[in-house]
Amino acid sequence: MGRVYLTTAIDYANGDPHLGHAFEKVGADAIARYRRLQGDEVWFLLGMDEHGQKVAQTAADEGIAPEALAERVAGAFRTMWARLGISYDQFIRTTSETHRTAVRELIERIFERNPDDFYERAYEGYYCVGCEAFKQGAEIVDGKCVLHPTRTLEWVRERNWFFRLSRYQESLIDLIEGNAEFLQPESRRNEILAFLRQGLEDISASRSRFSWGVPFPRPTSDGEQQTTYVWFDALPNYWTATRFAESRAEWPAQLHVIGKDITRFHTVIWPAMLMAAGLPLPERVWAHGFVYFKGERFSKSAGTRLDLSDAVGRFGPDAFRYFLLREIPWDADGSFTWERFEERYTSDLADGLGNLASRALAMLAKYREGVVPAAGEGPSLDAAGRGAVAAYVEAMDAFDLRGGADAAWTLVSAANLFVQQTAPWALAKAGREPELDSVLASVAAALCRLAILTSPFMPTKAQELWEALGQAGRVESAGIRTALDPALAGARTRKPENLFPRPATT
């Protein structure tokens, strides 16, 4: 692939990070780390959406300035991303001056290139502050936004700048029909095509009587200075990020990772804005599903709250990352349950990979003074190892993160079974040294492959395993090539700390 500029959605600065935020960032981080394993030059952008009515309202409720709220929330998010080992290169905040200037520039570009794309219009309709969008038809059920049933819709009547989105209907259909990769997974693509074929309404590009945002570059005909509608400020962050002095991002982005609830914004409004401005389009948008906890999406309401910090703390950040990506498909919805978390931790990590590593390294210490022997004539795991790497690459290239983890764990199971069947302790007792060499070399090679393959999922544990195998440097730098053909003969291993201690029985 070469260069990969990868982004996630920027999160609203109106509350603490929750499970849904974490799932998206962990998934995108696994993709970023996998692309690095493939030798790509990755630039990974995260950020915060700090403007808009939702943020202003939350700040007002707390009796603080929106700037103070944004500052605090951005800090809480960055602390969580550090704890989860999210390997981002840049964190954009929409209140930063570089972003604000670039948003105005983007809007001016549209005015200059397509002067008819903005026009003034009086408008009234129901506005959902949760979505920061006007709602109509099937989007309203029982007088509430379907996505935000606990919020009250506001009846808004104002005269705004409008963006002529309707003009881009055909171009957008051509884009999504003609390019299977632009929007994935397939289910989202079908949904957006159906939406586009119904016809597009023009959308508000500015808001009146509301100032927490980027001033819209041109006043309305009666001289009013309006504020840029928050999505017209938020979506451009992917482009404005390339303007920061410290950024090595280059537009267009190769991949936007977003949640399925904001697919329309990213595959209809955003490409239309870019077309209007005469800028290249992102190569791919991936819309992941939701994570449910006790049947609820944001795990917010009383009694079903999942504290993200508790979940990360249960077995540590790496186990949490692994669980999310192995349990919840990257292309659909899934559920978090404590029971499944505990089961997977025990079976896959403590009894699976952890047990394999401690047995193998203990045997190397006992029979070969910790030095990996050259593979002699005898039983080998090499075919299983190569097969697992090939299946892993195929899945990860297709953004099937769960499939990638599955492929790695077929090797964990194969290697544990191999140890059981070849019984190295019996080979040692019988003095069958060449066979013992072969078995030990094979298991060490499997662990080396596993350190590399699991690093996008569990970067810290993978590094510990890598070092226990006597390997220098960072496991990320080893790359998929090393996983295909590990060369461990002569490596000086050591017994690791218990990678995944068995949970205390309660």
Are the C-beta atoms of 369 and 362 separated by less than 8 Å? no
Burial of 19 (0-12, 13-18, 19+ CB in 10 A): buried
User: 264 vs 449, which CB is nearer to Zn ion?
Assistant: 264
Nearest to 368 by CA among 294, 286, 434, 413: 434
Nearest to 286 by CA among 309, 313, 312, 253: 253
Distance in Å, CB of 138 to Zn ion, minimum = 13
Are the C-beta atoms of 252 and 281 separated by less than 8 Å? yes
Q: What are phi and psi of 74, to 5 degrees?
A: -60, -40
Distance in Å, CB of 290 to Zn ion, minimum = 14
Distance in Å, CB of 148 to Zn ion, minimum = 4
Distance in Å, CB of 149 to Zn ion, minimum = 9
User: 133 vs 272, which CB is nearer to Zn ion?
Assistant: 133
User: 53 vs 455, which CB is nearer to Zn ion?
Assistant: 53
Are the C-beta atoms of 250 and 242 separated by less than 8 Å? yes
Residues within the interface to Zn ion (CB under 5 A): 128, 130-131, 145, 147-148
Extract the tokens encoding 498: 């218990």
User: 147 vs 484, which CB is nearer to Zn ion?
Assistant: 147
**Sign of the CA dihedral 14, 99, 233, 26?**
negative
How far apart (Å, rounded) are the C-alpha atoms in residues 175 and 126? 30
User: 140 vs 193, which CB is nearer to Zn ion?
Assistant: 140
How far apart (Å, rounded) are the C-alpha atoms in residues 87 and 28? 10
Distance in Å, CB of 144 to Zn ion, minimum = 8
Nearest to 441 by CA among 497, 372, 389: 372
User: 10 vs 153, which CB is nearer to Zn ion?
Assistant: 153
Distance in Å, CB of 130 to Zn ion, minimum = 4
User: 151 vs 359, which CB is nearer to Zn ion?
Assistant: 151
Distance in Å, CB of 155 to Zn ion, minimum = 15
